Structure 1
């Protein structure tokens, strides 16, 4: 499997290591990475030799959210183009969530925005202590619309409301408390913890695992075309607000947006 922004390797046991490989950009999601992750989800899902998939990032970050150049493209895009690009992100997340194999997040560092979305579509997540997390979209005058069905399902409505509205960053103990990650380990213990996490799956029937994942999703709020289209429309609406224009411009210009009090040092 040859890709530009990700790599995939499968060991003799059938454990697939899926690695985000844009370490210079803290593994931020680009348009190409989104397309490649969608493609690889289909390939891994269809490969009967693959028993477990481990998702991680190259370097010191798991995934820092949306790529800066990708965001600049969205600024210049039309409403229809923004919706189309957001739909690609939504379908990538859904493809990973619906993977009929256990999907484990090996969280090797920070995860913001879309990175939190990626963790949320995994069945379990082990994080390195000291990692930082955040749903930071409101700092830009935007909303975490595309990732919201998965994140809210993972951490619950109350936690989603608190962290998505405030854009506050949170640490690994908090991430564990709200259910985003299932374990915290020192950096030198991460691989061993992942091995402990995946080992029980080899005693379970692959077909039963796939059926159980499907059952679990059926018990939750359906993430169907109607729900996805609702999130895309709300995101497109927000992109067109003065707040988004100011927030994104402030981010690119490395200044504070108009809603931040002058005396605020945050």
Structure 2
């Protein structure tokens, strides 16, 4: 029996969706992205759900694209799936809250960028490492360009450096940074406030807030996916990715 990589639990109007693929640090494999999309669809269609919480098991929220899977071929499918997830999160008729208790890397930041509210523990770190592998954060730029200031975009996109949750909050990537031992309470308080909104009020307000973001994804999503796939297929990126995977296994 195949073990699910994403789980959903619905209680009291809250759908909690948990990434649970510890063997690859919740990388965005084809299975994980498909399962996450299915759970988001189900939560969006459930009239009893008012709020969606996206979180992870284990110590890493998401390590980005599944590079090992992508090297096996069909590299264009992964970028299109990440574009689709960002669009789905941004257009879901329920607020999507992300709880970050562990690191986020590369493509995983697309989930963060598309979400409505993001609460991060102070110990969480972020990095857009694509530039170091001959790649560019093409598909996740669809949501990140709408969140970060232009100067912050240039800094973190070009340097590939690791930055902390306090800086992520300062530049607009996350909503709030809280002490690690206060994360659960902060998320709980946020969900309590969101539950006070009516379904129609929440859906229409989210549509208003995310109008520009959704328009960008609709306009630029396919081109971003093609550009990402082309970069990944390039000799420079293939060599860099192979070296990275070799180091990871050693």
**1:114 and 2:110 are equivalent in the alignment:** no
Counterpart contact for 1:29–1:63, Cα < 8 Å:
yes
Residue 23 of structure 2 corresponds to residue 10 of structure 1: no
Q: Using the alignment, how far apart are the partners of 2:233 and 2:108 within structure 1?
A: 24
Q: Which residue of 2 aligns with 1:74?
A: 70
The answer on 1:63 being equivalent to 2:62 is yes
3-state secondary structure, aligned to 2:210 = helix
Partner of 1:46: 45
- What per-residue deviation string (whole Å, max 9, x for no partner) do you get for residues 29-67 of structure 1? 211010011111111111110011111110222111123
Shift of 1:219: 4.0
Specify the alignment match of 2:121 in structure 1.
128
**C-alpha contact (below 8 Å) 1:17/1:53 kept by paired residues:** yes
**In structure 1, distance between residues paired with 2:41 and 2:72:** 31
Question: Aligned pairs, how many?
Answer: 247
SS at match of 1:18: strand
Distance 1:185 1:55, change over 3 A: same
- For each residue in 1:224-250, what CA deviation from the matched residue of structure 2 results, as whole angstroms up to 9, or x when unmatched? 444111101211221233321221122
The answer to whether the 8 Å contact 2:87/2:214 transfers is: no
Q: TM-score, normalised by structure 2?
A: 0.92
Other-structure match for 1:28: 27
Question: In structure 2, what is the Cα distance between the partners aligned to 1:7 and 1:76?
Answer: 27
Measure the CA separation in 2 of the matches of 1:198 and 1:97: 17
Q: CA deviation at 1:119?
A: 1.0
1:264 maps to what in 2? none
Query: Which residue matches 1:176?
Result: 169
> What displacement does 1:98 show?
1.2
Q: Is the 8 A contact 1:35 1:92 kept in 2?
A: no
Moved >4 Å (runs of 4+): none
Structure 2: gaps (5+ residues): none
Question: Is 1:167 aligned to residue 166 of structure 2?
Answer: no
Which residue number corresponds to residue 197 of structure 1? 190
1:68-118 CA-partner distances (Å, limit 9, x unpaired): xxx2332232xxx32233212211221122111111110011001122111
Equivalent positions of 1:230-249 (< 5 A) are 230-249=223-242
Aligned equivalents of 1:53, 1:42: Cα separation in 2: 11
Indicate whether 1:156 and 2:149 are aligned: yes
Cα distance in 2 for residues equivalent to 1:4 and 1:218? 33
Structure number, greater radius of gyration: 1
Residue 153 to residue 87, structure 1, CA distance change in 2 (3 Å): same
**Cα shift at 1:221:** 6.8
- Are 1:133 and 1:169, in contact at CA under 8 Å, matched by a contact in 2? yes
Match of 2:81 among 80, 88, 97: 88
